A and B are shown apart, each in its own frame.
Chain A
């Protein structure tokens, strides 16, 4: 069987404690909130209108005969319900969000203002192209920024997430192999052990076979292992490599890796999820990359796609550009035109990935971000993101165990080696909630035991970073001493630690009304 040794405990834990029980179930101003089905009832409504006089049933006897069971709430009850729920949420607008690999940076309000301009927000993808020339120009302008920043000749704008961009790049590689007449023999895609899980999933989705490359002691691609896997080149389709990688480290051998793959007759897919660390400093085209997706919703703000969908434009090299998906925008000098069919000038395209033209709202936000930062500002974004991560690493390295020696890029990675027996990464993560922070990414990447991955992004000031580090240092010291109380954290959250095992084994997915007898007894 495949074996994961990430060391995450999942057994039911010690019961976390309420610091103080209250009769209302609220904790101070953090109010208890029941399910909407529990607070609503059929005899309440937020809309109090008289029944229309003389109304006739025109449903011909097919009207519903039993009650829908939908809860009715008065307007203030409905407003309060959702306000209370929203207050239980943690958001980048509330505080530092150290979730490594997610690039939870501030979303400038200017982006939102631009995205709400009616000419962008209220258009329809099926409008005549002559009426949406401004939107098409924006897509073309953004494409120019992306090809310039990456040093690549072409970009497919339509993919709607990072993983979707990966799919785009790998489909382009497959199409190129079909054109070479080698699609049936070149099936093997090399993927490092530290890769995002979406990389091998994408390769398999495209019909390739995944061959895992080991990491070396420096957290980077083990070159000896790679060379061994390339001794036989006849079945090599390509490599999928993240740079900087998921350990937050720059793959220093990347040029050699690109040459080795190209010499083997394969293509180089670069996962651009961590482009934030190098934007304005490094052009992936100069590194020999054939395809790379860019998470517009990470590098160019609006983390997590603002709730989704995201946007994952994929830049392509000369070798792969002819196979780019439709639709795409062409600038004809006196106007812009959408190429919508894989025929004529787009005859080699591998086809269409999405119904329409991409995630317009994210395009507007990304271009607003680029234009407001400028080329020099984007370069500073990368520099500040890397500086902040290294500041966090430097402050924590004496109490926690950095996974690898040396400077990191945009995220700092620690193992659980510093904790006393019995204290696990999850206990540290849960204790961060009591300190008012969203936990860091934990147990990923899999190559590090009990991994804790912290990405502060360029958003945070030194003052905020210090506050976060002080809190985490306190927890780490308790973890090193073996403070058992950590096993019960969080103590101050609306709910203390949940039993993940029971939640997975016996999930309660549906609310069931209490039995009538129970209602009568109340």
Chain B
């Protein structure tokens, strides 16, 4: 009995350390965002603010304030780019995944797809910059969405393919034997069964697009196209002296992915582990 108590104590202390390690930076970020500028520059720091001050959030969410305009525009651009790219990637990856799963397309080709995203983006960046430049597409959400679509496509195809593999082939064979077209079979037989996989693919793709910085840094240059990561990097590049504003921007930018990740944890974890774990 003593032994189990001792073990429980060990497990709980290890958990406590883990919780502190995982959460304390985030909690501090939130505290910073509601502390006064004076408290954030005190030495030593004031760990808990005298009054909780939400004014930075109301500024950031107000189109008429300077930082609010920058933040809200970037939020809009990020949403547009990430959602467009994710939808395009899904629409293109589903037929491709079907070809890999049911029409005998070579798996070496699928691996070739995956290899394209494993290359460092720096190997693609300059020609892409020139191509979009000559098409007058630099500094547009379109160019960014196209690049993101290509970035999301291989992983989406692979995830969808491994999910199609789990659907019995008899189902679509039966539908084809009855004379249905491939398109009809895909839409009416396969896709309804693959809905959870589509949801997982959608969310993982969205999170990846939301997070992307390098292409956005190179391809966007003004308020009307800059995505959140680029805008946030700008916030720290000198103009803002109140660290609480930076913290508030960080909290707001983390909310959408954190909410998606926590609400749909089961989907996301199954998507992440698909393929690398069998059974």
Partners in one complex: no
